[in-house]
Chain A
Amino acid sequence: MELDAGNTAWVLASSALVLLMTPGLALFYGGMVRAKSALNMMMMSMVTIGIVSVLWVIYGYKLAFGYEANSQWYGSFSLSGLGDAVGELANNGGVYPIPLLAFAGFQLMFAIITPALISGAIADRAKFFSWGVFVAIWVTLVYFPVAHWVFAFGNKVGDTVTGAGFLASRGVQDFAGGTAVHINAGAAALALAIVLGRRIGWQKSPMRPHSLPLVLLGAALLWFGWFGFNAGSALAADGVAALAFINTQVAAAGALIGWILVEKIRDGHFSSLGAASGVVAGLVAITPACAYVAPWAAVVIGLIAGAICALAVGLKYRFGFDDSLDVVGVHLVGGVIGSLAIGFFGSSAANSLGADGLFYGGGTALLGKQALGVGLVAAYSFIATLIIGFLIEKTIGFRVTSDKELGGVDLSEHAESAYEMGGILKGGR
């Protein structure tokens, strides 16, 4: 097979789009916390880009996408060896006419944003060094293997496939990461919120978002980057990519409307935070389904995800866990909705590589597979993260002292302040 320039260009451009999502997430999360911890919130995302990129080049790529061990559960324990791959084409259940390095770069961006998503659950109270240690361990023990289960279709030579992932080889459909990225991050967020415990004054003193314009800017960058996330996952500039692209747009739009309608009915107002949150919830939900459903179904999935996630973010108050920025309510719940929705709305007419769900006469077979993917990833991620989190808490400590928490982690962890707010007396003239 010859390398295709158009496909390669799209995958490279998509990779850059997906990278931009992580700084976008930093703004989305950063605006949602109080001013005294805005920089720390953003830095948790930024340092994740650094750590995961380095690990990816050393061993992460092979642990996720290697096939040499011929295992369903992990790629292979070896150096990534990307320096030797120049000129090789990507092979993931068949050869794609794009460079292996383009595929490796694209997948790296997914490995970066997944742990960054978790950081929203532990706003205002984590030791920054411990967060870095957590990211390194978590991607190694959780993300890289789970990416193998879901995204690795194996090395196909002739009719022989080696090293396909457990869920991928069973026909569980997850086009761009509803399970591997969002359920994975959401379940891990729940575990870490439990490990670190509630913030001082949670539910007593107001913890208002300090800058909703930053939140909206972040949501806009996430939305923009998500076209690379979903449409880029076609690994080609073709009709499937276009389907994923349009579905991404309309699902986000549907969820925006769904979320703010719930707010209007429940709270009396359409809020800007609700609009931004709805967009992200819709993007999360359509991620696994974007190439398997018709655009009308994407709208429905978006509306449902927006409305349900708007209700789900209240669960933390009922159960008493301080998932500060609602990673569970948006990413876990949205990921589950989207992954299961394929079992209902999946259509082989929309995409010949897809399967028919319940509404298209496919019966419950696909829904069952989807439930397997949802359950396995959620359970593994939650339990593994709980263990990793408690080990870090018991050894180097995960939470800052109460003095530092009250004074703000920007000051204690970074010796910086996000804004000069003191006026003349503090030299702000």
Chain B
Amino acid sequence: MKLVTAVIKPQKLDDVKAALRAIGVKGITVSEVSGVGRQGGHVEVYRGAEYPIDLLQKIRFEILADTKDVQPIIDAIVKSAATGQIGDGKIWVTSVEEVVRVRTGEKGSAAI
């Protein structure tokens, strides 16, 4: 079992959700996060004073999946979240030792 974590541009939230639903992903966790990568920040100007904004708003997806399902999920996210511009985000995959469904106590793949 794996945890797929993806950080994407906020405006791509709906596209990624739709793409994941289309390949049959049922459970996702989404959070609003701030961060900075190669894109750097941007500059805002108030009454002529420049304020560098170095942490940007991003959306983080977390998806638990069977190992065999990981590659299609990655493909779906890359396809739906890419704009080709700098700042499109990152995806990383980590191993998960155990998953438990709270309602029934089911464990492992059955709980995903």
Contacts and interface: CB of A to CB of B under 8 A. Distances in A.
Among A266, A267, A268, A311, chain B packs the most CB atoms within 10 A around the CB of A267
Nearest to A209: B46
A314 B48 contact: yes
A310 B46 contact: no
Nearest to A274: B47
B48 A273 contact: no
A163 B52 CA distance: 56
B44 interface: yes
A330 B44 CA distance: 21
Nearest to B44: A208
Contact of B48 (A206, A207, A209, A310): A310
Interface string A316-338: 01000000001001000000000
A209 B52 CA distance: 14
Contacts of A207: 51
Contacts of A78: none
A271 interface: yes
Nearest to B51: A206
A370 B46 CA distance: 33
B45 interface: yes
A317 B46 contact: no
A414 interface: no
Interface string A178-209: 00000000000000000000000000001111
Interface residues of B, number: 9
Contacts of A170: none
Contact of A313 (B44, B47, B51, B53): B47
B30 to A, nearest CB: 14
A273 B48 CA distance: 10
A274 B46 CA distance: 8
A413 interface: no
B22 interface: no
Contacts of A267: 45, 48
Contact of A277 (B44, B47, B51): B47
B44 to A, nearest CB: 7
Contacts of A277: 47
Contacts of A206: 44, 51-53
Interface string B43-76: 0111111011100000000000000000000000
Nearest to B47: A313
Nearest to A206: B51
Interface string A94-125: 00000000000000000000000000000000
Contacts of A329: 47
* 6 interchain residue pairs of minimum CB distance: A206-B51, A267-B45, A313-B47, A314-B48, A273-B46, A208-B51
